[in-house]
């Protein structure tokens, strides 16, 4: 796991150093460092965007009137304001530095472990990267290389964290089988990568892939609509849309169940409502069926 120490800098200031020790479960490290942190899934409408996953609330230092006025400006003005504001949040390097020692062959796993164990008070400190058995000082180039490596590898299908939902637009969403691929600690990967996204926003780093619009909506707490499903599965979307716009749903032979493939390719049937396999889809309940199906696809199916 990572242990936190203080190191005397040449200029007399103290720097926080995170050393990589014996490899271990991310969940175990969460227990050791943060006192049994429990991660759970919340629906977008129940989640508070101003509350951290660890339970503490972010400071509401932004003036509401200023935000309302800013909302009327064009995008370049908004972006310039955002960059200026986030830059001001970074703790100066002369006050605190987080040094992360990593092995290239385990850069994703160790980086995720690091961000899981990082204390909330250290999330805005300057990060310096050292790769094992490599010489050189991180003046910014190594940090950018590390960030690029992690964001490139985290979408690798073999890791099991994200899946590409639309190959034309190269957009990604949560992997429906992440628990089967990664294990019980799969939520810790999303917790850690969420923190990495926060660092990207803080430092102005570019993430080398796009989130699916529905995932962006989930992060922002914006309600997901039926039309958001089109980017995931155009064929099924058109079939559901046709059913909703025409009569005769009872002739399609549908019931309140959904099927999906597990991590090894086996088909799994899930009841969308209690006794869903005994409830036929009709013109009277087809809108409820579509709503339940989408709710399952975007929430329960994903975890």
What domains can be seen in the chain, in order of their start residue? Answer: 2-220 (3.90.1750.10), 226-302 (3.30.2160.10)
Name the token pair of 268. 């799994």
pLDDT exceeds 60 at position 267 = yes
**Would the pTM count as exceeding 0.85?**
no
Instruction: Please report how the helices 186-203 and 141-153 are oriented relative to each other, as an axis angle in degrees rounded to 10.
Output: 140
- 274-285: pLDDT as tens digits: 999 999 999 999
Mean pLDDT of 31-59: 53
- 154-203: pLDDT as tens digits: 999 888 899 888 888 888 988 888 888 888 888 888 888 999 998 888 88
Alpha helices in 74-177 (DSSP H): 75-89, 107-117, 141-153
How far, CA to CA in Å, does 68 sit from each of 64, 79, 253? 6, 15, 51
């Amino acid at each position: 796991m990572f242990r936190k120490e203080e190191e005397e800098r040449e200029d007399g200031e103290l720097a926080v150093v995170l050393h990589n020790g014996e490899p271990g479960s991310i969940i175990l490290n969460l227990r050791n460092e943060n006192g049994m942190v429990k991660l759970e899934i919340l629906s977008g409408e129940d989640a508070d965007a101003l509350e951290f996953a660890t339970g503490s609330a972010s400071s509401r230092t932004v003036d509401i009137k200023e935000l309302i006025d800013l909302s009327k400006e064009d995008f370049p003005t908004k972006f310039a304001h955002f960059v200026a504001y986030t830059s001001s949040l970074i703790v100066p390097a002369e006050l605190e530095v987080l040094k992360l020692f990593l092995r290239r062959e385990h850069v994703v796993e160790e980086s995720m472990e690091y961000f899981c164990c990082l204390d909330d008070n250290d999330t805005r400190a300057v990060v310096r990267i050292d790769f094992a058995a490599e010489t050189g000082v991180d003046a910014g180039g190594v940090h950018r290389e590390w960030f690029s490596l992690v964001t490139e590898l985290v979408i690798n299908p073999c890791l099991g964290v994200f899946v590409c939902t639309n190959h034309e637009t190269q957009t990604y969403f949560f992997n429906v089988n992440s628990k089967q691929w990664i294990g019980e600690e799969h939520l810790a990967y999303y917790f850690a990568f969420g923190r990495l996204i926060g660092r990207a926003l803080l430092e102005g780093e570019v993430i080398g892939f796009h989130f699916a619009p529905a995932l962006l909506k989930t992060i922002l707490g914006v309600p997901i609509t039926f039309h958001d499903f089109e980017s995931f599965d155009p064929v099924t979307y058109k079939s559901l849309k046709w059913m909703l716009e025409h009569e005769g749903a009872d002739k399609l032979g549908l019931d309140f169940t959904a099927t999906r493939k597990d991590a090894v390719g086996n088909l799994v049937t899930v009841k969308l409502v209690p006794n869903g396999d005994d409830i036929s889809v009709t013109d009277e309940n087809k809108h409820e069926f579509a709503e339940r199906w989408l709710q399952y696809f975007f929430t329960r199916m994903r975890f």
